[in-house]
Amino acid sequence: MSASIKSEFQSCIQACQECLIDCKVCLAKMAGMKSMNDCPYCCIQCIEVLEASIGLMAADSKFSKEQCALCAKVCEYCAEQCEQHDHDHCKRCAESCRKCAEECRKMAA
């Protein structure tokens, strides 16, 4: 991670990046599959909020905390949806979303 990014953001940015990758994988693997809930739609929303969160933290924005609070909510929602599926990619996505939500809540505090 770049030395120019504040150290307080590093673990949250890393969790967001990992979650972003897992959400993109989940979305791609769910393409064309039927879902009984909001997966993969939740992954689309999560991807959008994760990208914004990473960008604002990297820019040391005064809105980082507010964005991280929103990101935690969206990640929790995505985790709830994805963990209901038996697919490995959904389980991995849910786990990553829960970890990211935890890091984002720390940032928002």
11-27 tens-digit pLDDT: 999 999 999 999 999 99
Instruction: Supply the DSSP symbol for 34.
Output: -
Q: For residue 65, give both structure tokens.
A: 């905390």
Number of Cβ atoms within 10 Å of the Cβ of 27: 19
Domains and CATH numbers, the chain: 7-108 (1.20.1270.360)
d(CA 52, CA 85): 27
Model confidence band, residue 34 (pLDDT cutoffs 50, 70, 90): confident
Total-model pTM: 0.92
d(CA 21, CA 89): 11
39-98 tens-digit pLDDT: 999 999 999 999 999 999 999 999 999 999 999 999 999 999 999 999 999 999 999 999
Give the C-alpha distances (Å, rounded to integers) separating 104 from 1, 21, 35: 18, 16, 27
d(CA 61, CA 23): 24
Half-sphere exposure of 30 (CA within 13 A, CB side): 27
